[in-house]
Structure 1
Amino acid sequence: MSVLNKIKGGLVVSCQALPDEPLHSSFIMGRMAIAAEQGGAIGIRANTKEDIAEIKQQTALPIIGIVKRDYAGSKVYITATMKEVDELMEVGCDIIALDATDQTRPEGQTLASFIKNVRDKYPDVLLMADASTIDEVINAEKLGFDLLSTTLMGYTEKSKGMNIADQDFEQMKQILAAVSTPVIAEGHIDTPEKAKRCLELGVHAVVVGSAITRPQLITEKFVNVMQ
């Protein structure tokens, strides 16, 4: 079964913790991935080759890999250069996700040029476009991405204030009507009901992170309502 078929119609759990977060540890992310699998997840999204190597020791689920790294003069930080792609290929990710926004990239490289370089070096790897607007999703399809994702919607200057779940996923409906490449719903999906609705609309799979794997944010959500 192909990787795309393995994740179709299911939940991918994002197991990530940045250095300033309490669960930052490859060991902990490995255990988090086991917990996600036991709960029924059909894939894992993970950050850094170290975390991914540990997760691969703990589960055989397909992995969407990224490397978050800041670069001077650019707001692009998700798998921004070939350095990050090389690191992910070292540990054998099933899918590599990268920033597909129209923001200035490191060293001024265009997204089209970057994708061509990746395809030339790793022709068989599946690439997922983390986009923030409908136009960016459409452009990513034109560039030949294997998967299109709403990961960054609401997290860039151009998409500030956007929420993929608003108005019964109106923007998601527009995306699905505009492209034929499989679409991954990610970002602002914080309830099982929202995840189910995405599948009903026709997305390929759903990625959920903070609502499942970041206990400090889950706790804060409870506390804010209780006060």
Structure 2
Amino acid sequence: MNLTDLMTAIRGGLVVSCQAGPAHPLRDTATIRRLAEAAVLGGATAVRCGGVGGLADIRAVADAVTVPVVGLTKRGDSGVFITPTVADALEVLAAGAGVVATDATARPRPDGASLQDTVRAVHDAGGLVMADVSTVAEGVAAAACGADLIATTLSGYTSYSTQLTGPDIALVRELTAELPAVPVVAEGRYHRPEHVRQALDAGAAAVVVGTAITDPAWITSRFAEVTDR
């Protein structure tokens, strides 16, 4: 997949993240595949998947949908854990993802490689890289390393980034101003349709929504919290 084809498919659209943690009732590859199929039926222009479910989820989703697949792995739950190594990135690509999402923060990577090493390896293998960042500086640095897309995924998830209960629309706006030639993808705590609209109006090329669409436990809790029980 090339960047032009990807952006034709997703620009101005909704990317749905289909993931479930290890203790979640939906933690099952067949279920993740059906979530992805349902999301596409509802209008998702791409699917982000993998995470704890790893390569099995990516393979299943890639086989089931015709929209682009953004794949990732997760190792642990702190530090650099989103597709943290070059080897992980190449495995994600081989599993069927057209785009590899990887941590692109300033923190050290566990294999000692640089983000540029990951970008180069993925490009050489015919894939694209979505750089998950938490600050403007990290986004600029990731673009300089050759990342194809910059995502605001990790804003609020590093100790030095802005801590918000909702999405970081300001980061979207700042990144699009700093990187007019690089698509910026909004991700992280997008819980309402108006959040998606705000991000697009701020310049996002696309918006990723996960929990608010694909986690019925979380959705139920939002309704339950206003009841008398």
What TM-score do the two structures reach when normalised by structure 1? Answer: 0.90
| Comparing 50-59 and 35-44, the one that deviates more | 50-59
Is 1:224 aligned with 2:225?
Answer: yes
| Counterpart for residue 70 of structure 1 | 76
Q: Does 1:5 align with 2:11?
A: no
Identity, % of aligned positions: 38
Over the aligned positions, Cα root-mean-square deviation in angstroms equals 1.9
When structure 1 is superposed on structure 2, of 49-58 and 144-153 the one drifting more is 49-58
* Cα 1:53/1:116, change in 2 over 3 Å: closer
How much has 1:165 moved relative to structure 2? 3.2
Partner residue in 2 for 1:17: 20
* Inter-partner Cα distance in structure 1 for 2:59 and 2:118: 25
Whole-angstrom CA distance in 2 between matches of 1:222 and 1:68 = 30
The whole-number CA distance in structure 2 between the counterparts of 1:52 and 1:76 is 20
Residues 1-227 of structure 1 aligned to structure 2 (within 5 Å): 2-47=5-50, 48-70=54-76, 75-119=79-123, 121-122=124-125, 124-159=126-161, 161-162=163-164, 165=167, 169-180=169-180, 181-226=182-227
TM-score (norm 2): 0.89
User: 2-side partners of 1:113 and 1:206: how far apart?
Assistant: 27
Q: CA deviation at 1:160?
A: 5.5
- CA–CA distance in structure 2, aligned partners of residues 171 and 108 of structure 1: 28
Amino acid across the alignment from 2:18? C
Alpha-carbon distance between aligned partners in 2 of 1:22 and 1:5, rounded to the nearest angstrom: 35
Letter in 1 for 2:13: G
The alpha-carbon deviation at position 18 of structure 1 amounts to 2.0
Task: Tell me: CA distance 1:114–1:86, structure 2 relative to 1, closer, same or farther (3 Å).
Answer: closer
CA change 1:103–1:162 in 2 (3 A) is farther
CA contact (8 A) 1:100 1:130 kept: yes
Q: CA–CA distance in 1 between the matches of 2:115 and 2:45?
A: 29
What's the offset of the Cα at 1:53? Answer: 1.3
CA positional deviation for 1:177: 0.8
Gaps of 5+ in 1: none
Q: Retained in 2: the 8 A contact 1:164–1:170?
A: no
Q: Say if 1:57 and 1:117 are closer, same or farther in 2 by CA, change over 3 A.
A: closer
CA deviations on 1:184-219 (whole Å, 9 max, x unpaired) are 000121111110121122211111001101111122
CA distance in structure 2 between the partners assigned to 1:91 and 1:165 by the alignment:
30
- How many correspondences in the alignment? 221
Q: Are the aligned partners of 2:172 and 2:203 in contact in 1 as well (CA < 8 Å)?
A: no
Which amino acid is the alignment partner of residue 161 of structure 1?
Q
Amino acid at match of 2:87: K
Gaps of 5+ in 2: none
Q: How far apart are 1:158 and its partner, in Å?
A: 1.6
Does the 8 Å contact 2:93/2:122 carry over to 1? no
Tell me how far apart the structure 1 counterparts of residues 227 and 15 of structure 2 sit (CA, whole Å): 30
- Distance (whole Å) between structure 1 residues aligned to residue 9 and residue 121 of structure 2: 27
